[in-house]
Chains A and B, each alone.
Chain A
Amino acid sequence: MRDLLPKLDGLSRRRFVEYAAKSALGVSLLPNLDRAVGAAQVANSAGGKAKRLIYLFMNGGMTHLDTFDLKPGHENQGETKGIATNVAGLQISQFLPTLATQFDKIAAIRSMYTLTGDHEDGEYLMRTSYEEIATERHPSIGPWIQHFKGRQSKSLPDTVLISAPARHPGAGFFDPTFSPLPIGDPNRGLENTTTPAYLTAESFGKRVELIDAFDKKFRDRFKQRRVQTYTDFYTEATTLLSSGELKAFDLKEEKDADRDRYGRDPFGQGCLLARRLIENNVRCVEVTCGGWDMHANIYNGGTLPARAGILDKAVGNLLKDLDEKGLLDETLVVLTTEFGRSPVINYNAGRDHHPAVFSSMLAGGGIKGGQFYGTSDAAGHAVDQDGVAPANFNATIATALGLPLAEIVHSPTGRPFKVAHDGTPISKLL
């Protein structure tokens, strides 16, 4: 192989490293690279227009009265006013002006409810459809999709989590290879993918060659699965490093004006990164937006306007872009939270935890937009009509993605689970 090097001078770094990766580090033992191809084709007749998912989580409990469920004239309303959307007769919060121009794509659910006012419990329930227990970890939606549909890309992970909390349920009881790839800071993209400047393609290739040589005796001696699978990881890693797909993680590839449009905050840039990843064959991206736990001074000092503004720019432009790029029909965009906030403004000029009713939204992926689903009562205190529990919400998501709701999957401990627990999809939205 060393003899080949001079002949490779004219080749691009990308092709060289790919070549090096394929010829070095042993022979691929597992059909890892072909996982996507070999994946079972799941029969999905109903729903199933959505092929990709962008899941946006408003961490801390998004206030429903100040976003999607306004109560004009009611004393609970506080200072938020409504503005008209591009759907005649429907209003949302004044703090969501961009979303208002995209409302024809949005179905806002105003009758979500759960029974827990605890952040962690609520988040877990919303992400998995199951209550958190100490003996089993339930998977979040991305790994469920991978389970049913197989891995989508050879070099990119199926699910990417942006700014997710450490306690995110991730792959749950599924094999750790289903684990979502976490990204802490969207501006930094996928970490550890930059080789130092002093390493040329050739010297990187040489290093890989050295690994190969030094590693040979060990891997020849231990023909165990755990040892041999590393061959695939080395190969995938080198392929990824040399592939153009890595650019999917690099926001610097976006125009400055576009980055500004989404907002130069972690959530805005996270949504932009989500769009890039979706465009580049990643199937599911979740972006977390913290800062919704507003117990005090929500209007004064602009806590609410600022947070809602971040949401608005990011999600409004995300929907706009997906639509313009023709991706929205096949991309389901979900925005949800663990609970709402108390309708009565508290003593500290804030709102407290309120699971009895709250709002979420769905868009794209075959969802019928331009509508509100369900209602809360006049005071915004409880569900009035068409209550939606987290499992029903997730069943709607799963159906839109064409996942089999009834199929039972056993965890390694032998317990039976379903993708959306026992939820029923909301047919009116599909």
Chain B
Amino acid sequence: MTVRGRIVCAPALTLLVALALLLVVDIQPVFAWQATPPAKVEPPKDPKTIQLEGIVTQAKQLIREGKYDAGIQEADKALAIDAKFAAAQVARGMAFNGKGEYDTAMKEFDLVTAITGREPEKLQNRADAYAHRSHSLYQKGQYLDAIDNAYFATLEKFDHPLAHINRAVAYVARQDFDRAINSANRAINIDENSAEAYSIRSLAYAGKKNADQAIKDADKAIALNSKLAESFQRRAVAFVVKGDAAKAKQDLDQALVLKPNHADALCDRALLYGMAGDLPKAMIDLDAALKANPHSGRVHYVRGLAELEQSNFDKAVASFDEAIRLQEKNALAYSSRGYARNGRKEYDKAREDFTKAIELDSKLASAYSGRNTALKNLGLTKEASADNAKYKELTAPPKKAEKKDNKKEEEAPAFVVKSKAVAPEKRATMLKSAKEIDRLIAANYEKVAVKPNARTTDEQFLRRIYLDVTGTIPTYNQTRKFLTSSDPNKRTLLIDELLSSDGYASHSFNYWADILRYTDNLNGTVRGEPYRQWIKQSLAESKPWDKMVHEMMTAEGLIWKNPATGYMQRDASMPLDNMNNTVRIFLGTRIGCAQCHDHPFDRWTQKEFYQMAAFTYGTLTSTNGGDKRYWESNPDDRLQTEYAMIEQEEEDRRNNNYRFDRLISINMMMVNDQVDRKITLPKDYQYDNAKAGDVVEPKSLFGASAEIKKGETPRQAFARWLTAKENPRFALTIANRLWKQAFGIGQIEPVDDMMDTTVAENPELMVFLEAEMKRLNFDMKEYLRVIYNTETYQRQVSVEEVNPGETYHFSGPVLRRMTAEQVWDSFLTLAVPDDYREMPATLRTDVIGVDLTSVKAPDLLAADSMGNQVDGSVGKWQQKHIYKGVLLARASELPSPVPASHFLRMFGQSDRELISASSTMGSVPQVLFMFNGPISHMLLESNSTIYNTVMKKKSINDGIRSIFLTILNREPDTEELALAVKEVNDNGAPGYGNVIWSLVNTREFLFIQ
């Protein structure tokens, strides 16, 4: 007993597991010829057809009764009359299926699909042939092929119930219970009275250990047809899952009453006996099962198990041999034969069996355990312990991993910028520059006879500087802190503090996203998040503008390896538009008109446009598999070949094909330069200085010429020329743009349409600003620091309107409506803490970025799925920041573009299609948003930021004052205070709500003074 016990111990344990498993998975599809849908009433048929159909009906009846040979004879009669009568061919195949001659059956079915075309009336036969072929393959244990053949049947006729049922049967065999349920559901949708469909769904639910649903489905199947032995047999399985062996036994007995030679029911009952330790009875049932169906691999397999349990190793091996012959892909059969061979001390052969089993199913724990025994006996201890470890890994409870995942969910990963603080030691120089600006402005006032505006109050300055630098109004505490401070330098200190904060990057990002037309989907293939985060970080660390632009202009490769490539990717395969945009954004010059003809308002000729475009025309945004610079051999070809060999269902293969190809394309989206690619003049070129089709060489528009050095791409030469301090418009443009950011109007207007004749409002000042930009080496933070510290910036806004075409002389900044992002972010400041940040782009790109030269096709598919999972988890992380369907996050953290109906778009945020397409115009939907939008309501709910502030105040007066300080960042005047206090006195707490709601709906809230 001890010796035997040791050998049999592992398989005995396995046996119990296998028994339960087997009850579930390995079943006979018994409905193969019952579920063909009734043919539709067709137009009148000729007598011959009627005769043939009569014969086939008779043949099928015989087959149904188990008289297979007679059925074949009958079908042959039909074929003798018409050799191409496909229905008869189908019947022959069905008969061979019945006889267990599956290969012959399949040949019959192949004939059907070979002889029939795809005319509508032939589709039924083709579908039948595939559906029954699925059954043959299932019987041979080729479950995947069985699934595909059932799928082919549905391609011929999507409402073929038998096809869906047979597919479900094969799915169950593969233990893919969800899909089995899916297929069964489709069969039920086609025919809601299909007992077969409910019956197989019952088995699938049993496989999912959902015993109650399984029993319910089996009950339904039995109610629909109480004569089906299989429904009882399957309900028995459900009862086993439920742990009710008695009821299971009862159902199996009933199944055997209905069909005494039901091999599966006999087999199942044998398993029940085996589990109860009653092996003699099990053997009796197995003998009967074998008699009933000598071709059932399953019966042989279970018989092998029973022999193994009794240590009859030779007999066990013989049974498993037969099982494997019939089901060549049954991993369990190999593994079990391995145990039997271990028993026979044939460790070498046993090892082969286990290895084969693992090949077929890499997660079969029992095979690792068995091979461990075999290897140990062969003296291969190292290999043995590896198998032992694998066995333990597979059988370990998965709890720990789950816990880790939960934790991950709680702490959403966030992309946080690292902001660079402004340098205190530069303050003196900075203030000197600010003074110089004020001097130049004042000199101009005299010239143009304009009086400066009064200096801002602290309240006005505070609100303005917060909005200008961080994009939101200050909080109550920030407001109080500044207004109560008596430090004479408090404005300069606050400017430093804000420029050093993360808010600077957030607000600047909104500004540049508008100009750069940043979209999360940069083009059809490339997602923009790495670029987006690169822009934010570059702004946060105040990367010098010339360096930042140079990086965008010259970046090569994949976006997650070099995020600055996003600039080129945004205009993928539009090199002319890209050059047009580049010149407009960075040089403040519009050459777009010259793309099609000489510029009507400026001096640019079409040829000059093409000369500029020639610099970047050779820059491509993607490579192909044949590009020898990146790949020795074409990875696309290799992966396609590998893809074809992945073992997957045909339907999956077709569906996956798209995402597979797509992920390859994504990994080929490398910005690169093709030096030989030359631009030529368009076909309709109409000027005398060149001919249509002429090759155009690169030549810079103005300033020093851009020499292409040896070993340099034209693009690199262009980037050097573009960002050089000597470029007449590069520093000028950025100096003017940032001036406008602070004052609302540029020294030069429009900021991106300069011509040779353009003169700044104050030319001396413009010269100084440009020089400052260069002196500061394009440090934008430092430049803004200078501007914000000028007296001019700190003056009150002008009361009068600046009409279009009128020159403004900067007696102070102009009144501006907040940008969409400023309105949104300010609302958020009133409502919630600012603690949501977008997910780091690397989380996704680390997954989907693969090495195409070495990646294996299945890993590529898995990478795509994991990428989708990452996207899916974002939604989960966002949940606690979502209020009434709205993600409460700063504008710079939201998708780009947001949908057209989003708050931001209503307030004028750009759709990111055109440069600087944002607007600050009012509209009715804006007012509706302010009146009734979810955020307005949120302000009034308990726990909003403003609510918490007000509720802490002890008197109504203080409450009202805190409301004014929070929303308008100033104290109420006497009149306002009286009115608001009365409101609260009249209405109690809701009165506060009315005051808050009214104040956010004032124009004073929306405009920046």
Contacts and interface: CB of A to CB of B under 8 A. Distances in A.
Interface of A: 81, 118, 120, 132-137, 157, 161, 164, 166-168, 170, 175-177, 179, 181-184, 190-196, 198, 203, 206-207, 210-211, 213-215, 217-219, 221-227, 229-230, 233-234, 236-237, 240-241, 295-297, 299-302, 347-349, 414-415
B887 to A, nearest CB: 14
A252 B425 CA distance: 66
Contact of A135 (B592, B658, B1002): B592
B901 A183 contact: yes
A222 B815 contact: yes
Nearest to B925: A181
Contacts of B933: 191-192
A214 B120 contact: no
Interface string B813-828: 0010100000000000
Nearest to B578: A134
Contacts of A300: 151, 154-155, 158
B580 A134 contact: yes
B1003 A297 contact: no
Contacts of A221: 799
A295 B584 CA distance: 39
A223 B802 CA distance: 11
Contact of B924 (A215, A217, A236, A297): A236
A233 B931 contact: no
Given A167-B911, A295-B658, A300-B154, A177 B901 contact: no
Contact of A81 (B120, B905, B913): B120
B657 interface: yes
A230 B937 contact: no
Contacts of A161: 900
Residue in A120, A226, A240 with the greatest tally of chain B CB atoms within 10 Å: A226
Contact of A348 (B578, B657, B976, B1003): B657
30 contacts: A81-B120, A118-B524, A132-B913, A134-B914, A134-B915, A135-B580, A135-B592, A135-B914, A161-B900, A166-B897, A166-B911, A167-B913, A176-B919, A182-B899, A183-B901, A190-B928, A211-B998, A215-B1004, A221-B799, A222-B815, A222-B1007, A224-B815, A226-B922, A227-B815, A233-B923, A233-B924, A237-B931, A241-B928, A300-B151, A414-B600
A177 B921 contact: yes
Interface in B866-903: 897-901
A338 B898 CA distance: 23
Nearest to B1001: A211
Contact of A349 (B155, B799, B905): B155
A222 B932 CA distance: 26
Given A233-B922, A301-B158, A137 B654 contact: no
Contacts of B923: 176-177, 179, 233
B524 A210 contact: no
Contact of A299 (B158, B932, B1006): B158
A237 B655 CA distance: 49
Contacts of A222: 799, 815, 1003, 1007
B1007 A192 contact: no
B17 interface: no
B917 interface: yes
A302 B158 contact: yes
Given A135-B580, A296-B654, A218 B1004 contact: yes
A18 to B, nearest CB: 15
B486 to A, nearest CB: 28
Given A218-B1007, A227-B815, A207 B997 contact: yes
A137 B1003 contact: no
A167 B924 CA distance: 21
A192 B1003 contact: no
Interface residues of B, number: 71
Interface string B575-596: 0011011001000001011000
B383 interface: no
Contact of B932 (A164, A177, A183, A195): A195
User: Lowest 6 A-B CB distances belong to which pairs?
Assistant: A210-B998, A182-B900, A237-B927, A134-B577, A218-B1004, A135-B592
A173 to B, nearest CB: 9
Interface in B779-829: 799-801, 815, 817
Given A182-B900, A210-B979, A193 B994 contact: no
Given A167-B913, A214-B999, A302-B158, A240 B924 contact: yes
B501 to A, nearest CB: 29
B571 interface: yes
B57 interface: no
B932 A193 contact: yes
Contacts of B900: 161, 164, 166, 168, 170, 182, 184
Contacts of B931: 192, 195, 237, 241
Q: Which of A120, A177, A222 has the most B CB atoms < 10 Å from its CB?
A: A222
B762 to A, nearest CB: 23
A192 B657 contact: no
Contacts of A218: 1002-1004, 1007
Contacts of A177: 921, 923
B237 to A, nearest CB: 29
B929 interface: yes
B868 to A, nearest CB: 17
B463 to A, nearest CB: 13
Contacts of B436: none
A233 B927 contact: yes
Contacts of A227: 815, 1003, 1007
A166 B899 contact: yes
A217 B524 CA distance: 51
Nearest to B123: A79
Contact of A133 (B154, B577, B601): B577
B552 to A, nearest CB: 16
Contacts of A296: 654-655, 657-658
Nearest to B986: A206
A106 B253 CA distance: 65
Contacts of B1007: 218, 222, 227
B11 interface: no
A191 B925 CA distance: 9
A187 to B, nearest CB: 13
Contacts of A207: 994, 997-998, 1001
